[in-house]
Chains A and B, each alone.
Chain A
């Protein structure tokens, strides 16, 4: 429990981060920027985990550990995603997402 700061403040921050991430993912054309947007979404979720753990079950640690795992997984995911992006760049000579549209009917 952090004195003077109610839970809403944290939740509002994480919600804003989440929707900024979603908007970035949908709007930005650059694949790297989109990846960053995804990281933003992940981190907003991390904040939620930590906050709920702290405010609802202060004597337990599951939320924290989940967060740590997510950070780890996000790191590997970023590595994979960047590898993919490099491959895409080699193939299309561009990392603009609208150019990568071969997967359709």
Chain B
């Protein structure tokens, strides 16, 4: 029916790579496996690009904007005549955009890892997991229905778990992977319940039915409510809980900073560019449902996003581990995207927030992957994550330095880098919605510029440290991805996003709003200047400032003790007062009962085993006597 049947290969090639790399037991040179994975990913990347060009430019929009296309579809589970779970490929503007994002970043990470992971134990396993992740993430964005999305949602969770715990000899990595898995799994519980509630009332899983603009499937049960709130608001809130878990929104954000225990390319791919924006993608995917059926839930999305962006930016200012700074910055930027979705309307100019969110998702994927890969390059040279061990690296690592600077300028929203355009659209959308959120985002923009340049100056300027060996620029296989992503960070801002990716799939014109853009640039520059003054040359000023701030600084440095709160609730309260009694009941009563049955049976059989003498005639006698008794009793007693 369409010429897009080949798109099914885009997720299937990484799956094949995973199987091949995972099951192959030959002892080739590790680099061969890296090349295999990279070539597979490269094929997916080329196919995605072809798809995107075809979809957006060759075929182009129809009279009703871009039409969603079901490229292939297989019925997988037929639950009832009308309710069935399919597996398929759906192409529409956001899924095609995500294809490009995922395959680009994944390809860069595959390439980069050949240098970064060189000589690591389990190189082949690493590439197998990367392919598994790419497969799951591509399947997630191509899902035709919410249940398929849920399946792949769990798969990305698993591959994230595997990759965070890549260094499984390291207890902290094991703890971090378990933490990530448990927290996101807990959130996914909400997601699953949300899916079930939604499909119970609408009798469908398909996105095509759920998100059609003039759908009537909601009308029937629109008045059903639970504790005074409509069921659809509940369903969407629960679904957002899943999205918030994966996207690490407050208060489910605790796993993301710890997830930095994984290898740095993994952080770039999973915990910066692709998997953590799955929550944003989910909300965008379900956006018409949010907008028409559950505006209350959408407001929650906006506030959670806004709060998280500020909260994470504040913490990021105080961290010393460069990957953690980037992790909190990711939280903050995803908060931006969520906020933009939350404040968006539907259709045309009203849908500016939606478009801005997707735009920011795209640019953020590029510059954040660049930042992480740059950080990886630094770590590769210095063998430390701590910025106290770094300084004056600009002389040794010119390419890393320049690309990192570009990424910092991009995230700070300095024109003409791409971050400026996407952030500007978000600010305009927030401005039209609520002044409070708007000012939160302004402050966050300033803080972002500050903490990014704090990182930049402390790493690349300042005094040189005593290094194990003279820091050196990374090999070409690592710097090429940096340059490609830097290129994307600079120029992706000029993509005509508002004509391609919009809430109702019909393009519209945007212009730069000077009244919003100018102050945002100024506040960004202000942040950079403050960082310049404080950190360009090392001084005691930052230290004295932190000392003056006292308890506020300590609280921020310890991430506002959210982790400790979680630990208190789980370890002290839940473990002691719920888990222990339940465990006691299980061991003593349930197990005791079962063990008792076993013991009684054993004792009895021990007692009566003598009856089995091996003498044939005893058996025959018992048999005949039993038959006689039965026959006689049937004849004389029962009749």
A interface vs B, CB < 8 Å?
Answer: 22, 25-27, 97-98, 100-105
Q: Do A104 and B612 form a contact, CB below 8 Å, given A26-B621, A26-B624?
A: yes
Q: A26-B620, A97-B616, A103-B614 are in contact. List 16 more A-B contacts (CB 8 A).
A: A22-B624, A25-B620, A26-B617, A97-B615, A98-B617, A100-B614, A100-B616, A101-B613, A101-B614, A101-B615, A101-B616, A102-B614, A104-B614, A105-B609, A105-B610, A105-B612
CB-based closest 9 A-B pairs: A104-B614, A101-B614, A105-B609, A26-B621, A104-B612, A105-B612, A103-B614, A26-B617, A101-B615
Number of interface residues of B (CB under 8 A): 11
Closest B residue to A23 using CB positions:
B624
Residues of B contacting A97 in the complex (Cβ-Cβ under 8 angstroms)? 615-617
In the assembly, what is the distance between CA of A18 and CA of B616, in Å? 19
CB–CB B620/A98 < 8 A: no
In the assembly, what is the distance between CA of A103 and CA of B617, in Å? 13
* Interface of chain B residues 70 through 108 with chain A (CB within 8 A): none
Interface centre among A27, A103, A105 (most CB of B within 10 A): A105
* Interface of chain B residues 603 through 639 with chain A (CB within 8 A): 609-610, 612-617, 620-621, 624
Residues of B contacting A98 in the complex (Cβ-Cβ under 8 angstroms)? 615, 617
In the assembly, what is the distance between CA of A77 and CA of B461, in Å? 101
The smallest beta-carbon distance between A93 and chain B, in angstroms, is 18
Interface centre among B612, B613, B617 (most CB of A within 10 A): B617
Q: Do A104 and B616 form a contact, CB below 8 Å, given A22-B624, A26-B621, A26-B624?
A: no
In the assembly, what is the distance between CA of A27 and CA of B615, in Å? 12
In the assembly, what is the distance between CA of A100 and CA of B621, in Å? 17
In the assembly, what is the distance between CA of A18 and CA of B613, in Å? 26
CB–CB B613/A104 < 8 A: yes
Closest A residue to B615 using CB positions:
A101
The smallest beta-carbon distance between A64 and chain B, in angstroms, is 27
In the assembly, what is the distance between CA of A25 and CA of B623, in Å? 12
* Interface of chain B residues 167 through 214 with chain A (CB within 8 A): none
In the assembly, what is the distance between CA of A98 and CA of B614, in Å? 8
In the assembly, what is the distance between CA of A98 and CA of B618, in Å? 10
The smallest beta-carbon distance between A98 and chain B, in angstroms, is 6
CB–CB A25/B612 < 8 A: no
Closest A residue to B627 using CB positions:
A22
Residues of A contacting B615 in the complex (Cβ-Cβ under 8 angstroms)? 97-98, 101
Residues of B contacting A27 in the complex (Cβ-Cβ under 8 angstroms)? 617
In the assembly, what is the distance between CA of A2 and CA of B610, in Å? 52
In the assembly, what is the distance between CA of A97 and CA of B619, in Å? 12
* Selected A-B contacts with CB under 8 Å, 26 pairs: A22-B624, A25-B617, A25-B620, A26-B617, A26-B620, A26-B621, A26-B624, A27-B617, A97-B615, A97-B616, A97-B617, A98-B615, A98-B617, A100-B614, A100-B616, A101-B613, A101-B614, A101-B615, A101-B616, A102-B614, A103-B614, A104-B613, A104-B614, A105-B609, A105-B610, A105-B612
Closest B residue to A28 using CB positions:
B617
In the assembly, what is the distance between CA of A97 and CA of B614, in Å? 10
The smallest beta-carbon distance between A28 and chain B, in angstroms, is 9
The smallest beta-carbon distance between A41 and chain B, in angstroms, is 10
Residues of A contacting B617 in the complex (Cβ-Cβ under 8 angstroms)? 25-27, 97-98
Residues of A contacting B614 in the complex (Cβ-Cβ under 8 angstroms)? 100-104
The smallest beta-carbon distance between A43 and chain B, in angstroms, is 18
In the assembly, what is the distance between CA of A45 and CA of B609, in Å? 35
Closest B residue to A22 using CB positions:
B624
* Interface of chain B residues 483 through 537 with chain A (CB within 8 A): none
Interface centre among A25, A26, A100, A101 (most CB of B within 10 A): A26
In the assembly, what is the distance between CA of A98 and CA of B620, in Å? 13
Residues of A contacting B609 in the complex (Cβ-Cβ under 8 angstroms)? 105
Closest B residue to A25 using CB positions:
B620
In the assembly, what is the distance between CA of A27 and CA of B620, in Å? 10
The smallest beta-carbon distance between B244 and chain A, in angstroms, is 63
In the assembly, what is the distance between CA of A56 and CA of B610, in Å? 48
Closest A residue to B611 using CB positions:
A105
The smallest beta-carbon distance between A94 and chain B, in angstroms, is 14
* Interface of chain B residues 349 through 398 with chain A (CB within 8 A): none
The smallest beta-carbon distance between B360 and chain A, in angstroms, is 77
* Interface of chain B residues 12 through 34 with chain A (CB within 8 A): none
In the assembly, what is the distance between CA of A102 and CA of B616, in Å? 10
In the assembly, what is the distance between CA of A104 and CA of B619, in Å? 11
In the assembly, what is the distance between CA of A39 and CA of B617, in Å? 16
In the assembly, what is the distance between CA of A25 and CA of B621, in Å? 9
In the assembly, what is the distance between CA of A105 and CA of B615, in Å? 12
Closest B residue to A37 using CB positions:
B620
In the assembly, what is the distance between CA of A96 and CA of B624, in Å? 21
Residues of B contacting A101 in the complex (Cβ-Cβ under 8 angstroms)? 613-616
In the assembly, what is the distance between CA of A100 and CA of B613, in Å? 11
In the assembly, what is the distance between CA of A27 and CA of B621, in Å? 9
In the assembly, what is the distance between CA of A25 and CA of B620, in Å? 8
Residues of A contacting B610 in the complex (Cβ-Cβ under 8 angstroms)? 105
* Interface of chain B residues 589 through 613 with chain A (CB within 8 A): 609-610, 612-613
Residues of A contacting B624 in the complex (Cβ-Cβ under 8 angstroms)? 22, 26
In the assembly, what is the distance between CA of A26 and CA of B621, in Å? 6
Interface centre among B609, B610, B612, B620 (most CB of A within 10 A): B620
In the assembly, what is the distance between CA of A26 and CA of B619, in Å? 9
The smallest beta-carbon distance between B126 and chain A, in angstroms, is 57
Residues of B contacting A22 in the complex (Cβ-Cβ under 8 angstroms)? 624
Residues of A contacting B621 in the complex (Cβ-Cβ under 8 angstroms)? 26
Residues of B contacting A25 in the complex (Cβ-Cβ under 8 angstroms)? 617, 620
In the assembly, what is the distance between CA of A98 and CA of B619, in Å? 12
Residues of B contacting A100 in the complex (Cβ-Cβ under 8 angstroms)? 614, 616
In the assembly, what is the distance between CA of A103 and CA of B610, in Å? 12
Residues of A contacting B613 in the complex (Cβ-Cβ under 8 angstroms)? 101, 104
The smallest beta-carbon distance between A33 and chain B, in angstroms, is 12
In the assembly, what is the distance between CA of A97 and CA of B613, in Å? 12
Residues of B contacting A105 in the complex (Cβ-Cβ under 8 angstroms)? 609-610, 612
